[in-house]
Amino acid sequence: MMRMQFRRRREKKTDYNRRLNLLRSGKTRLVVRKTLRHYLVQLADYTGQGDKTIAASNSIELKKFGWALPTGNLPAAYLTGFLCGLKAKGKVKDAVLDIGLQNSTKGSTIYAVLKGVIDAGIAIPHDAAILPSADRINGKHIADYAESLKKSDQAEFKKRFSSYLKLNENPEELPKKFEETKKAMRAKF
């Protein structure tokens, strides 16, 4: 018997066994993909012609809500998931998480996205132990590190937080910016 070869399998882009199991659930999938600087989040249903996107958000969209900070960190991941969940409110009640070929690590940015979608009102089965802590979600860990580094090594502070400084943003105020952005999102949806 000749074995079928799928291009996306050969390119290591799709695990068809995992995808088939997710599709068999019959539920909407929360698709989380990340790049070095951004997060892409979709709530999608499978149809015979392909996936149908119900709601989608990209971390670049956070700028519309006042987030002028880098979009590749854990707070940005949460906010991107929260935005996607708000967009899907009323259209989707529950979903399953689809992380594709990404590694599953406790407290990672993938699970920050998951937490954001859950906080927006979408029910997704998960173990609460895998979610990042509230201090990590709102960026307090980044702000604390920036503050301690600023006191101890000014040159290293400027090097590590150059992206914040280029934007004339203070990394120590990250939790405040996080809450302002979240509030702006709730006001719109």
pLDDT tens per residue, range 30-61:
999 999 899 999 999 988 787 899 999 999 99
With a pLDDT cut of 70, the percent of the chain lying above it is: 88
- Lowest pLDDT segment from 8-17, 30-39, 169-178: 8-17
pLDDT of residue 19: 66
pTM of the complete model? 0.86
* Residue 2, pLDDT score: 45
Q: For 48-84, list the strands marked E by DSSP.
A: 50-58
CA–CA distance from 28 to each of 33, 75, 102, 150 (Å)?
16, 24, 19, 45
What percent of the chain is modeled with pLDDT above 90?
69
* Residue 156 binned pLDDT confidence (cut-offs 50, 70, 90): very high
Angle between helix 74-88 and 174-188 (nearest 10): 10
* 94 contacts 122 by C-beta, under 8 angstroms: yes
What residue ranges define each of the domains in the chain, with the CATH number in brackets? Answer: 9-188 (3.30.420.100)
Q: 28 with 117: CB under 8 angstroms?
A: no
